[in-house]
Structures are given as C-alpha cells and as structure tokens.
C-alpha cells in the first residue's frame, strides 16, 4: 500500500519546481514592465512640451504610474536576487576582511550622519568558508538598515569573535529600535516597515547567511537600538 504522505524528496522537487516557476514568472513580468516604464517616461517628456490645459493633472497621473513602475521593478529585482540563492561556490576567507570592506563603503555616509563606526575585530579569528559577493551583500543590507535606524547622531559597533566551532559578529546600533512584533517578522519575505520597501532585503540576508551554514538572531528595544548576532561555522579542515 502506498504511503499517504509526500516524501521529502518529492517535497524538495516540488519546491524547486515552484521556485523555478516563480523566477520565470518574475522575468516575464519584468520585460513588459520595463516597456511600460519607458513609454511613461516618453509620455512625460511629451507632456512637458504640451500646451494642453489639463497637462498638470495628466503629469501628476504619469508621475504616479512611474513611481509604481519603479516600485515594481525594485520588488522584482529583489525577488530574483532572493530566488537565485542556491548552492554557493565557497572558498576559505576572512570574515574580518569582508566586514572591513563593507564598513569602509559606509564610512563617508556615517560621518555625514555624525555616526561613529567602532570596530572590534578579533585579529586571531579563524578562516571560514565564504562566498565574498553574497556575504558582502548580506552585510551591506544589515549595515544600511543600522544607519537608517539612526536619523541623528549615533554609534554602530561591529565586533567579531570566536565561538565554539565557529566565529561570530555582533552589529550593534544605537538607533530607534523596534517592537517585538517587528523583530519577529522582519525576516519574513515581503514584510517591511519602510515606504516602498520590497520586504526582501533582510530575508535575503538571512538566506545568504544560512547558505553559509550560519544563523542570525536579533535583539532590539524601542528607543535604545538593535543588535544582530551572526554566527558562522568553521570547517574542520580550516580551523585554527
């Protein structure tokens, strides 16, 4: 008698088929959306040269369509980035190096916002298996969110250290913090508290970290700030 339950292999196959279908659908939507956006821009240029009495109302409507096109394009771009994360080609590398690269990217912006970036990077940190581009993308998302949470002056602390069987990094900001409900949902796809946000930035960051065999946790308090803790395993072959 056949089992009434779906096997794990069948579930995995169905998941991959659904992911492929979703990715294909996103591509199919992206192409006509680009055409719509292009023609809206052309229409806006024609309206600028028009002497029609209703040009102001029409321009307002065109601007609204353009904004929604841009929002959909951002959503599709983030979705495709999220859907493409599969098996990454890992190589031994330094977590400190990736953290330093990302913090350097945001140094000028932090100074402009009167935000101090403090680095406590363990010089004896062991190497981990990593994919540079994707790991930097995850860290960029987290640092960007931290800076955006501090509208005035503040401090962002990045601390790396060894743990049992791996390494970890704390990213601590003195921003506005968040309520428990938001903290619990922030890694869910399409959940966002930002106007126009796709809600895929943090889920993608988590997916990247998990694809490295790692895990991410968040602690936050309204009015005091947020702390992300990210842990990565150290493969036995490159420990030490």
pLDDT by residue (tens digit) across 27-63?
677 778 788 888 888 888 888 888 787 788 888 888 8
CATH class of 91-238: alpha beta
Does the pLDDT at position 215 exceed 70?
yes
Give the mean pLDDT of 159-170. Answer: 93
pLDDT at 193: 62
- Count H helices, E strands: the chain? 6, 7
Residue 20: both structure tokens together:
């492929």
Q: Per residue in 81-94, pLDDT tens?
A: 666 655 567 889 99
Residue 163: is its pLDDT beyond 50? Answer: yes
Which residues does 132 contact at the CB level (< 8 Å), separation at least 6? Answer: 91, 93, 98
The Cα-based distances of 183 to 150, 180, 192, 193 in angstroms read 17, 5, 11, 11
- Whether pLDDT at 136 is above 70: yes
Q: Which two tokens stand for residue 151?
A: 């509208």
* R_g of the chain, CA atoms, integer Å: 22
**φ/ψ bin of 107: left (φ > 0), alpha (ψ from -120 to 50), beta (otherwise):** alpha
The region, left, alpha or beta by phi > 0 then psi within -120 to 50, assigned to residue 61 is alpha
**Beta partners for residue 171, in sequence order:** 158, 228
Confidence label for 127 from pLDDT (cuts 50, 70 and 90): very high
Which has more confidence, 207 or 73? 207
Strand partners, 228: 171, 218
- Global confidence as pTM: 0.66
Q: What does the pLDDT read at residue 56? A: 82
**Residue 169, SS3?**
strand
Q: How far is Cα 79 from Cα 23, in angstroms, rounded to an integer?
A: 8
Q: What is the mean pLDDT of residues 107-132?
A: 92
Residue 104 has pLDDT above 90, yes or no: yes
Measure Cα distances from 232 to 62, 64, 191 in Å: 48, 44, 25
Residue 106 has pLDDT above 80, yes or no: yes
Query: Among 19-28, 43-52, 139-148, whose mean pLDDT is lowest?
Result: 19-28
Average pLDDT over residues 221-228: 89
The residues pairing with 157 across neighbouring beta strands, listed in sequence order, are 118, 172
Q: Which of 117-126, 153-162, 182-191 has the lowest mean pLDDT?
A: 182-191
Mean per-residue pLDDT over the chain, rounded: 80
Mean pLDDT across the stretch 103-107?
92
Tokens describing residue 213: 């065999």
Residue intervals in the chain for CATH 3.30.565.10:
91-238
**CATH topology for the 8-84 domain:** Helix Hairpins (1.10.287)
d(CA 191, CA 169): 25
Q: Give me the pLDDT at residue 80, please.
A: 66
Q: Where in the chain is the domain with CATH 1.10.287?
A: 8-84
Do residues 218 and 226 make contact, with C-beta atoms less than 8 angstroms apart? yes
Q: Does the pLDDT of residue 74 top 80, yes or no?
A: no
Give, for 228, the enclosing helix (H) or strand (E).
Answer: strand 225-233
**Euclidean distance between CA atoms 131 and 122, whole angstroms:** 20
8 A C-beta contact, residue 197 and residue 168? no
In this predicted structure, the answer to whether residue 141 has a pLDDT above a threshold of 50 is: yes
Q: What pLDDT, on a 0 to 100 scale, did the predictor assign at position 45?
A: 84
Beta-sheet pairing, 154-163 with 166-173: antiparallel
């Amino acid at each position: 008698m056949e089992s009434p339950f779906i096997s794990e292999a069948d579930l995995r196959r169905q998941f991959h088929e659904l992911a492929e279908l979703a990715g294909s659908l996103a591509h199919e939507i992206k192409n006509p959306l680009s055409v719509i956006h292009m023609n809206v821009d052309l229409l806006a240029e024609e309206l600028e040269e028009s002497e029609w009495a209703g040009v102001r109302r029409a321009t307002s409507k065109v601007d609204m369509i353009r904004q929604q096109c841009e929002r959909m394009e951002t959503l599709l771009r983030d979705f495709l980035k999220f859907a493409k994360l599969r098996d990454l080609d890992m190589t031994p590398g330094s977590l400190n190096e990736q953290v330093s690269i990302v913090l350097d990217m945001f140094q000028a912006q932090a100074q402009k916002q009167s935000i101090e970036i403090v680095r406590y990077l363990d010089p004896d940190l062991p190497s981990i298996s990593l994919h540079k581009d994707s790991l930097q993308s995850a860290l960029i998302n987290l640092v960007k969110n931290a800076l955006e949470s501090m509208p005035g002056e503040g401090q962002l602390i990045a601390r790396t250290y060894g743990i049992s069987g791996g390494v970890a990094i704390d990213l601590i900001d003195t921003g506005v913090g968040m309520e428990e409900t938001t903290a619990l949902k922030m890694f869910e796809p399409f959940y966002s508290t930002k106007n126009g946000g796709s809600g895929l930035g943090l889920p993608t960051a988590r997916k990247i970290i998990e694809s490295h065999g790692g895990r991410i946790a968040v602690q936050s308090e309204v009015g005091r700030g947020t702390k992300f803790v990210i842990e990565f395993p150290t493969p036995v072959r490159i420990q030490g």
